[in-house]
Structure 1
Amino acid sequence: MTYITLSGFFIILMCFLLIIFILIQNPKKESINQTFMEKNFRFFGIKRTNTFLENITWFLSIIIFFLILLFNFFLKLNMT
């Protein structure tokens, strides 16, 4: 029973982290303000930050997928 509760807690925690990292990312659409800001801040690593946030988003999505599989395994194990 504790494995089910613990894995459920981790699923909820990872979902909240995924939501936060998705909201932090810059949108992909082009605008006048974005092209102006991109020229000024290109040297400060904003492009690398966006790819880092995108990689974290993919990583958290994969973790959530495997946590859900683990959660289902614990549920089936508990039913028998």
Structure 2
Amino acid sequence: MKNISFIIIFGFFIILICLLLMLVILIQSPKKESIHQSFMEKNFRFFGIKRTNTFLEKITWILSILIFFLILSFNFLLKSKHLRN
């Protein structure tokens, strides 16, 4: 019974981090300059957009690494539960 609660918790965290990762990726502005960016005023670019992009890129890497390790541990948890039965 204890392993089932861990499986549910790991599954919940994996789904939550996937949703956060999708949200962070959708928020990021593209690297290439688009038509919309060419019409932006140059003064608007100095209000921290560059820092926000680097912050969002770091969050993307952190969430990606976190989801990788959560999936690995979830796999080991499932294998250990399967071997005990």
Q: TM-score, normalised by structure 1?
A: 0.90
Fraction of identical pairs, as percent: 71
Unaligned regions of 5+ residues in structure 1, if any?
none
Kindly name which structure, 1 or 2, has the bigger radius of gyration based on alpha carbons: 2
Deviation of the 1:2 alpha carbon: 0.8
Q: Does 1:59 align with 2:53?
A: no
The alignment partner of 2:74 has SS state of helix
Deviation of the 1:29 alpha carbon: 1.5
Tell me which moved more, 3-12 or 37-46.
37-46
Question: Structure 2 counterpart of 1:24, which letter?
Answer: I
Match of 1:15 in 2: 18
Cα distance in structure 2, aligned partners of 1:32 and 1:75: 49
Question: Structure 1 counterpart of 2:70, which letter?
Answer: L
Q: Equivalent residues in 2 for 1:21-36 (5 A)?
A: 21-36=24-39
Runs of at least 4 residues off by over 3 Å: none
The alignment partner of 1:26 has SS state of coil
Cα distance in structure 2, aligned partners of 1:73 and 1:32: 47
Once the two structures are superposed, residues 21-40 of structure 1 have per-residue CA deviations (whole angstroms, 9 ceiling, x without a partner) of: 00000011213431442622
Matched length: 80
Cα distance in structure 1, aligned partners of 2:41 and 2:60: 22
Unaligned regions of 5+ residues in structure 2, if any?
none
Q: CA RMSD in A?
A: 1.4
Q: Does 1:75 align with 2:67?
A: no
Match of 1:46 in 2: 49
